[in-house]
Chains A and B, each alone.
Chain A
Amino acid sequence: MAAAGGFRTVEPLEYYRRFLKENCRPDGRELGEFRTTTVNVGSITTADGSALVKLGNTTVICGIKAEFAVPPVDSSNKGYIVPNVDLPLLCSSRFRPGPPGEEAQAASQFMADVIENSQVVMKEDLCIVDGKLAWVLYCDMICLDYDGNLLDACMCAFLAALKNVQLPAVSINEETGLAEVNLKEKTPLTIRKEPVAASFILFDSLLIVDPTAEEEDLATGTVTIVTDEEGKLCAVHKPGGSTLTGAKLQDCISRAVTRHKEVKKLLDKLIKSKKAK
């Protein structure tokens, strides 16, 4: 047992290759298998919507807070959605103290792009009074435990938290011109599209799904595919790394579509059980 641990530290590539020869991975999964996903919504009562997602060991919590803002001048009937991914020091010993590192910034930018392109929520729905008042949704995703595949977990947490958001009814007092919030009347958001991400790594010309942190370190390239509920592509993210043939990319896309169905079933079951309470 100590010898196996030793081999793993000293020659991680060889250790990993021996598992791949048997068509499985060190944690016992197959090459195309995702880790167990658990989702929990509504645990943070100070946030307007919250969700906690555990993808194997990777844990991400998403809290959404809604505030008032003035709509932008060029599109006066739109609100804002501001995502932010935070990788604090506690999630893994690999992160150093200081301003957000490139991984956190890249993840935040990825989330912003997907939200913009997939039109998860129509920004027009967030407008209260044209040109004067709109909602801004601050979506903060904090990674509590980093064990690889951050983007999938963030996407899932974000979607689950959005489904959990309840916005209060707002009316404008005609005399004072100020907004009045009615906390007793709350309505959920209209979610137009449901994007779900699936990440893969490239290793020795093999495609491996849902990498752990160890596997990510050994990988030579990564691919993330985001699909929506109609099987359409929302985003394909392949930031450099080793090359991929067109056929392999097609494999990724079909695996991503299957993953979407799995996650959708999980989220629907969760929302239904929450409503039943």
Chain B
Amino acid sequence: MAPARYCVPGERLCSLEEGTPGSGTYTHHGFIFASLAGCFMKKSENGMLPVVSVMRDVDSQLLPDVGATVTCKVCSINSRFAKVHILYVGSTPLKSPFRGTIRREDIRATEKDKVEVYKSFRPGDIVLAKVISLGDVQSNYLLTTAENELGVVVAHSEADVRMVPISWCEMQCPSTHAKELRKVARVQPEFLQT
């Protein structure tokens, strides 16, 4: 393998005519400069200009972006919304959790007025959700579970045993056989782990 070329912030990589800026770079006065300390990468796409980027060995912190699917843990609920801690963005774990809110009207896509937060989430549940807004002065990240693939993935029953989903709105405890109401995510069969 060719020895990796390292670059540091402020180093001029190339001009805008020779490549398009990728991650870890910024443009200034018609030139592409590096903004991270790492390996210089040039990926050429067929036909288009090569993408110039700087890669680090360790992934730096990712921030939840609008439209990203996130995995979060419910910390508290009340009649209007559920407060969650965002743990993963896509499949990358976050070093420190971000706070988010799932409002009552964003839990389901249909029959929004008949939704009860207590029957959809409980504290401690792991939920798959999507970011709809970065929030403003008053609120945190706003999330939604109003899709079939979004909702509760892992939940523990009142007997503290992991429950099994039986329908889109119910989960059952394998030891007490009690059913509990949740807004369950439809997990694709190939991702099911037993």
Binding site for B on A (CB under 8 A): 2, 5-6, 9-10, 93
Contacts and interface: CB of A to CB of B under 8 A. Distances in A.
Given A9-B93, A10-B87, 10 more contacts: A2-B91, A2-B93, A5-B93, A6-B88, A6-B93, A9-B87, A9-B88, A10-B126, A10-B154, A93-B96
Interface string B83-109: 000011001010010000000000000
A8 B73 CA distance: 13
Most buried by B among A2, A5, A10: A10
B113 to A, nearest CB: 32
Contacts of A2: 91, 93
Nearest to A11: B154
A234 B93 CA distance: 44
Interface of B: 73, 87-88, 91, 93, 96, 126, 154
A2 B193 CA distance: 14
Contacts of A5: 93
A10 B154 CA distance: 9
6 contacts: A2-B91, A2-B93, A6-B93, A9-B87, A9-B88, A10-B87
Nearest to B94: A9
B188 to A, nearest CB: 16
Contacts of A9: 87-88, 93
A9 B126 CA distance: 11
Task: Give 3 closest A-B pairs by Cβ, nearest first.
Answer: A9-B87, A5-B93, A10-B126
A10 B84 CA distance: 13
B184 to A, nearest CB: 17
A93 B126 CA distance: 24
A10 B96 contact: no
A43 B36 CA distance: 33
Contacts of A93: 96
A2 B91 CA distance: 8
A10 B73 contact: yes
Nearest to A10: B126
Most buried by B among A2, A9, A93: A9
A254 B82 CA distance: 49
A9 B97 CA distance: 10
A6 B71 CA distance: 10
A218 to B, nearest CB: 16
Contacts of B91: 2
Nearest to B87: A9
Contacts of B126: 10
Nearest to A2: B91
Contacts of B73: 10
A146 to B, nearest CB: 14
A6 B93 CA distance: 7
Contacts of B93: 2, 5-6, 9
A10 B86 CA distance: 11
A213 to B, nearest CB: 13
Contacts of A6: 88, 93
A94 to B, nearest CB: 9
B99 to A, nearest CB: 14
Contacts of B96: 93
Contacts of B87: 9-10
Nearest to B73: A10
Nearest to B154: A10
A93 B98 CA distance: 13
